[in-house]
Amino acid sequence: MGRRPARCYRQIKNKPYPKSRYCRGVPDPKIRIFDVGQKKRSADDFPLCVHLVSWEKENVSSEALEAARIACNKYMAKHAGKDAFHLRVCAHPYHVLRINKMLSCAGADRLQTGMRGAFGKPTGTCARVRIGQVLLSVRCRDANAAHAQEALRRAKFKFPGRQRVIFSAKWGFTRFKRDEYLKLKSEGRIVPDGVNAKVRTKPRCIARNDKIITKLINACMVNSG
């Protein structure tokens, strides 16, 4: 018996059904690698970020996620270079799909019970995706913007429904906008932390002491005047 088409499970109808001690025997998802490329490069190296955003509420199978990852990675490695990008799959297939197998051979009516006890057995996994959720993200240099856009456009054909390729206003995978990141970097207040970045701030006790010292200096100047 072949694999049931993913279009049968595309609509989100029921509650999430994750793998647990009550849901055993779940086959492994087809996608095992969610970060591809130069995933250890600093946030300063890749300022541009491009997203593939879902425009529908639907289920996306793990096979579709793996196919999209392979297509995007292959195009970027060929045209931009394998050392010039970082690809991340943001959707994770935690929802378990079930199937109530039916026999179709001769004499099957004696063996199966039809819709009596129709709660199926696990057959695969998928990701529950909402409108506006990011499916894939690529960070790279500004010179490879066209390659990243085309790679995500090709990956879009592996998914059902509608998706859009959007250029992010953020710096890479960080939470800072471009102008904000450059401003903090020029002030020496930002510290790269892997693919992210942290803002260097004063400890609360030091900031409180600075306020006290400022008040004392102002009081002394008033008294001397």
Annotated domain spans of the chain: 6-105+119-181
Cβ neighbours for 89, distance < 8 A, ≥ 6 positions apart: 31, 34, 35, 65, 68, 69, 135, 136
Closest by Cα among 49, 32, 89 to 196? 49
Residue 213 pLDDT grade (very low, low, confident, very high; cuts 50, 70, 90): confident
Dmax of the chain from CA atoms?
Answer: 108
Q: What residue ranges in the chain does DSSP mark as E strands?
A: 35-37, 48-54, 58-61, 85-89, 95-99, 121-129, 134-140, 163-167, 190-193, 196-199
Compute the chain's Rg from CA coordinates.
26
CA nearest to 29, candidates 99, 74, 87, 96: 96
Greater model confidence, 127 or 190: 127
What pLDDT is attached to residue 179? 94
- Residue 116: the pLDDT is 86
Beta bridge partners of 128: 59
Q: Comparing 80-89, 116-125, 134-143, which segment has the lowest mean pLDDT?
A: 116-125
Task: Identify the pLDDT of residue 63.
Answer: 96
> pLDDT category, 22, cuts 50, 70, 90?
very high
Asked if 86 and 139 count as a contact pair (C-beta separation under 8 A), the reply is yes
Question: Which of residues 3 and 35 earns the better pLDDT score?
Answer: 35
Residue 207 has pLDDT above 60, yes or no: no
For the whole model, what pTM was predicted?
0.84
For residue 220, is pLDDT > 80?
Answer: no
| Average confidence (pLDDT) over 182-192 | 90
Q: Which CATH number fits domain 6-105+119-181: 3.30.1300.10, 3.90.1170.10, 2.30.30.100, 3.90.330.10?
A: 3.90.1170.10
Can you tell me the mean pLDDT for 28-57?
95
Confidence category of residue 111, pLDDT binned at 50, 70, 90: low
pLDDT score of 217: 76
Q: Which of 32-46, 100-114, 147-161 has the lowest mean pLDDT?
A: 100-114
